Structure 1
């Protein structure tokens, strides 16, 4: 039963990845559908991010109070309905509301899947967590292919594409209805009036802010960076972006057996070292196309394990509740909104190199926060051990 339950989570995250990656490739079609310019409709990305942030704030409290599989099933069905309705929406304001709803439910699925998987496996969640996020990446990889093929089959229409993506929620929905939800976990009782727990939660959220901000910034700006500096053609820059996300997904697949053997702290330390080394290559040899490709692939592989392994490490150190996980996703959402925006504000005035400088500085600060995390976690464990002895 446990193996089949895990498959349900994997199907849910593959559907989530497909839905998350659908907006970009269909944006021109949605602009035509709503008789809107691309410059006007592009704010749907911000609307969806706002919905995701809202969902991250609310979802944890819900999972701490209600059966998780019922909530996940409802969120998946809502996501499927939202996707199915997109091709029928000819008014921009209605499409905006749908994207806001999509962001909320996608966040609920994301928070819920991560939280419930932790509750299923506890400190042994590492390999399962990396597998879960691999399936998210697989869905994000398959989504543009599905969209392209269905648009070709229907001579450019996006209706069939969104209907196919909407149907992808059904396998997970059917499987979740067959299995009971994991028992709801009470919040961990921290030492010294929960001060140690609150400090760790803030540090993990800050680490997520920095890491996700760096990841989204690189994936979002590497195309423009390469074109602006004349390091590649437009076609090659598109492939470069795909290779970054592909390396990130492949790295999660490769890391699955490693997470069963290595402590999350060791995995994170090695991944951060790989990120810093890749950024040094990108900065020192920034006029070399070969260094750009090598650094991009190295960064994708290094970043691949950080998000899922951070959650596994947090479970190893704290007894995670849904609300705690929500705080981490709030930090991640804010990072994804803030750091790419900062690069955009400075890109033209400072130059394209500001992209790599900001990402490099962000990762260096992430290393500092990670060091504080290790120190604070040791204090937390020592305090817990002293409490058990007394």
Structure 2
């Protein structure tokens, strides 16, 4: 399907869901609209990555970083927009908006504070209604641009470009895709888990105040967004593999500090900032890196996004369940450390598979080269044989022509002598049959004249 049309339809579905959610009075309808938005965002994530790779190819590194920076910027700005529209206390509402998921340990920390200064229900609903309308209108406006882009695209040119890109394929294509699926599962799961539970960890384990916990959460996402913005320029002169290795090293170092030294405030703040920065560039750099070794189409990119979505869905749920059962163990920090170790172990395996020599391709190339060489030699041999055959036929033709000229001359002289001499002398002249041997050519109107002309032409 055309990428621009797919993105236009998905964003149109997202806008429709956002317009309908504030008016929902039934949980079933709300579930349907939320599912529509979730599916549309999944299509947007997949289609955006594929469209960037198809548009810029091997030079898609900075553009891929810019695409994922827009995700981080939107995640950072949307809660602020909702906070401004809510009309409540900015620090409390920002903490509530950024805290996207809560652990089962304690109730929402801001519930008691919010209950002391309740806002009028109609005023609060009206402000949140405007938040949905503003974001939905923005997305609808962008979907119109994608429809215009679809009307301007040349499908035949896109298909020919896509078919030209299908030739590059790694030897272990599907094992490489499968490992990248698992890699993104752990990476995105760790990112969402830490961003979701760091507020609760700061309040319960680090005994921070609500404002400090909200600031710690903002440090994580702020470092995440800033590092993705810086990666746009860094991708212009750094290879994707270099950016991945730097991110993985920083991820292991920071998660180790968080898992084993988080009881120190300085270690918690610094580790959170470095961990957020190290998680920023892995996803776009991973897609840019694997595109250098094998062709990435819609199926492959969708597998990456499915793996990321599974990690985003399953790992936070598992952490929340375990944290509810083991209250004294910082499961969040240990999960960050374990997922970082898994990604560090997976990447060398993927690198080895990606750089495996193309045995099958070399055999095909050598076979095709041998075949071409044999065909070229056979053509040369045939040409040489043709030249020798033509040369032999030319020599034979010249010999026949010379012999015919001699025969004609001899016959002409003989006929002249016969016509000019006496009958007695003519009887002494040799007969033309003796001159020509077995050739049945005779003077005058003898019966062998016609056959003689035929043999003469041959």
- Fold-level similarity (TM above 0.5): yes
1:328 aligned onto 2:278? no
Match 1:255 to one of 221, 231, 236: 231
CA distance in 2: counterparts of 1:322 and 1:375, whole angstroms: 24
Deviates more, 1:135-144 or 1:81-90: 135-144
- The answer on whether the counterparts of 2:171 and 2:358 sit within 8 Å (CA) in structure 1 is no
1:181-260 to 2 correspondence within 5 Å? 181=153, 183-184=158-159, 185-186=162-163, 188=166, 196-260=172-236
Which range is displaced more, 137-146 or 301-310? 137-146
Q: Which one of the candidate residues 56, 72, 76 is aligned to 1:121? A: 56
Which residue is equivalent to 1:84? 19
Q: Distance in 1 between matches of 2:247 and 2:54?
A: 25
* 1:359 counterpart (306, 321, 336): 336
Change (3 A) 1:371 1:166: same
Which structure: larger Rg? 2
Q: 1:174 to 1:389 in 2, by over 3 A?
A: farther
Residues 188-232 of structure 1 show CA distances to partners (whole Å, capped at 9, x for unaligned) of: 4577xx861111110111111111111111111111111111342
| Residue 271 (structure 2) aligns with | 295
Aligned-residue Cα RMSD (Å) equals: 2.1
Distance (whole Å) between structure 2 residues aligned to residue 77 and residue 289 of structure 1: 45
1:315 aligns with 2:315: no
Give the counterpart of 2:148 among 170, 178, 193: 178
3-state SS of the aligned residue for 1:317? Answer: coil
After TM superposition, the structure 1 stretch with the greater mean CA deviation from structure 2, 210-219 or 374-383, is 374-383
Residue 345 (structure 2) pairs with residue 368 (structure 1): yes
1:349 aligns with 2:284: no
Runs of 4+, deviation exceeding 3 Å = 186-191, 380-390
1:155 and 1:226 map into 2 onto residues whose CA distance is: 32
Q: What are the superposed Cα offsets for residues 43-92 of structure 1, whole Å, 9 maximum, x if unpaired?
A: xxxxxxxxxxxxxxxxxxxxxxx111111111111110110011111111
Q: Is the 8 A contact 2:224 2:279 kept in 1?
A: yes
What is the rounded CA distance, in whole Å, between the counterparts of 2:131 and 2:84 in structure 1? 8
1:247-268 Cα deviation digits (max 9, x unpaired)? 1110011111211111111110
Change (3 A) 1:215 1:387: farther
Q: Find the aligned partners of 1:384 and 1:210 in 2 and give their Cα distance.
A: 33
Instruction: Kindly indicate whether the alpha-carbon contact (under 8 Å) linking 1:265 and 1:313 is maintained by their aligned counterparts in 2.
Output: yes
| 8 Å CA contact 2:225, 2:280 repeated in 1 | yes
Change (3 A) 1:227 1:177: same
Distance 1:380 1:344, change over 3 A: farther
CA contact (8 A) 2:24 2:30 kept: yes
* Matching of residue 131 in structure 1 with residue 101 in structure 2: no
TM-score (norm 2): 0.67
Gaps of 5+ in 2: 89-121, 368-458
Q: State the shift of 1:386 in Å.
A: 6.2
Gaps of 5+ in 1: 1-65
Structure 1 window deviating more from structure 2 (300-309 vs 257-266): it is 257-266
What is the CA–CA distance in structure 2 between the aligned matches of 1:176 and 1:380, rounded to whole Å? 41
Normalised TM-score (structure 1) = 0.78
Q: Counterparts of 1:358 and 1:380 in 2: how far apart (Å)?
A: 36
1:190/1:197 contact within 8 Å kept:
no
